[in-house]
Structure 1
Amino acid sequence: MLGRAVGVLDAFAGAEGPELSLTELADRADLPLTTTHRLAGQLVNERLLERLPSGRFRIGPHVQELVSLTPRDLTPEDVAHPYLQDLADVTGQPVQLVVLDGGESVTVDRADGQVPSRAPTRAPAHASCGGLVLLAHAPAALVDAVLESGQFERRWDAAPGVTERVRTAIEVARRQGHLELRSKQTGTVSVAAPVIVGADGPVAAVAISGAPHSERSLAPAVLTTARSIARAMGAPATGPIAVVR
């Protein structure tokens, strides 16, 4: 009986919407309609399902209460978006949350002051300010592999000395605790800072890309956002603060 009840709840997994009719529940749970009706009634009594005035069903509030009791580690994506949106609103510039996956940087959340999107996008780690900040804290073997690949694109051209320029950017990010890259050709600036929760290095980076070139540095705002996300993930309220140079 318990297995059948779980099957009724599982019927909502992969459904097109949050509500299902009794017939849809029976079909998706592969149960007779009378059995489904009896089980659904019991689940409603336990607040595991909720019966709507239309007669349709949706997951009940007690399921959400039980889920909230499940211990799990927070990820940057769980908490970051309001802080990214605040930074985008204040600066008027697109803001990204970036994580490192091998030699690639993955944008897992973004806010641009218009339509937010959380569809992950990938790029070589060296090709973005956020990726370079994360490489600054990555294992030396990974950094060496990126530098030795010689496959530099987007921000970096194929001119002589490009490997040293990428290496220097990584070292600056490691030393300063953030990175600010300015382009004289396009008149733009990109700024990124790491989100550091514990002693194992950053879990993500906050980055503003393509902001207009100005005398006022955006680094303090980006650093503040990164620290706010870290605190929301459980980092101490006080601790080492990266120096803005």
Structure 2
Amino acid sequence: MANSRSGESLIQRLVRVLHAFDSDHPELTATELADRAELSSSTAHRLAADMAEEGLLRRTPGGGFRIGLVLWELGQRSSSYQEFGQAALPFMEAVHVTQRQNTSLAILDDQEHTIIYLERLISRDVPTDLTKVAGRLPVLSTAAGLAILAFSPRSLQDRYLCEPWDPITRDSGVTESGLRRRLAQTRTDGYVHLRGVAVAGSSGTAAPVFGTGGKVLGALSIVAPVDQVNLQVQAPTLLAAARGLSRQMGFRRMIGVQAFHSEPEG
């Protein structure tokens, strides 16, 4: 693959173009694209035109560019994450209907040190919620992230706890020993509950989802205002949904809560 003068391959430049788009910038002119992707104007214009030709981007009536349908089509057709999200929806709907709180499915993106949300059901009773489909949040400052990490290999836990933390976690006042205790408690309870970490007045409760061989695949979570938390009701409902989805994904060891947390080692 041909490299630019900077040494970047064409694929790397294409990825930079795609990363320039986000929920705050769904449409960009070629000039804006060059600025956000840190490419020369001529390179951005050429790449955008070529990507539009292949359907990776689409031209807008105003002369800008948006992400094209081809990317969505390929993701829908072949992604295992899409299959996971589709399998989760009935279980999420059961939680959403009974609890009337925002319900999400998240997975870990270890390369980016974030969780990413695959599916989300919204309740009008939750005014502030940072989760959104295809949105990312730090692992250590979210209930879903901690639920996944608690059942991940010990080496992965150590890496997240020992490397520099994201600003939300760093400013929350939590300590490494405190996080280790929370992960241990999560393995005991089968779920984790956080209050007012990412958003003041908001809480998150999450339970892990497992697949074949007991590997943690992701987490189901509820976001609710702190004054509407009732863990005696919410936690069993969430655990039942997570267990049902785990069975759907091929996990068979379902003898009590302990089946969820054999000691995670690498």
Bin for the TM-score computed over the shorter chain = 0.5 to 0.7
Gaps of 5+ in 2: 1-53, 57-76, 125-130, 259-266
Residue equivalent to 2:148? 134
Residue equivalent to 2:236? 220
2:233 equivalent to 1:233: no
Structure 2 length as normaliser, TM-score? 0.55
Question: Which one of the candidate residues 190, 194, 198 is aligned to 1:177?
Answer: 190
Q: Contact 2:206–2:222 (CA<8 Å) still a contact in 1?
A: yes
Q: 1:83 to 1:215 in 2, by over 3 A?
A: closer
Residue equivalent to 2:128? none
Question: Which one of the candidate residues 78, 99, 121 is aligned to 2:86?
Answer: 78
Q: 1:196 to 1:241 in 2, by over 3 A?
A: farther
Residue equivalent to 1:98? 106
Q: Contact 1:84–1:111 (CA<8 Å) still a contact in 2?
A: yes
Superimposed CA distance per residue, residues 93-139 of structure 1 (whole angstroms, 9 cap, x where no aligned partner): 1111011121321111111147xx97311222112101001111122
- The structure that is helix-richer by fraction is 2
Question: Which one of the candidate residues 172, 178, 202 is aligned to 1:165?
Answer: 178
Residue equivalent to 2:138? 124
Name the larger-Rg structure. 1
Q: 1:162 to 1:152 in 2, by over 3 A?
A: farther
Residue equivalent to 1:190? 204
Question: Structure 1 stretches (4+) deviating beyond 6 angstroms?
Answer: none
Q: Contact 2:142–2:194 (CA<8 Å) still a contact in 1?
A: no
Q: 1:165 to 1:152 in 2, by over 3 A?
A: farther
- Quick one: percent identity of the two aligned structures? 23
Q: Contact 1:89–1:113 (CA<8 Å) still a contact in 2?
A: no
**How far 1:239 moved relative to its partner?**
1.8
Helix, strand or coil at the partner of 1:80? helix
How many residue pairs were aligned?
A: 174
The letter for the 1-side match of 2:96 is A
Gaps of 5+ in 1: 1-12, 16-66
The residue correspondences of 1:8-87 to structure 2 (distance < 5 A) are 75-87=83-95
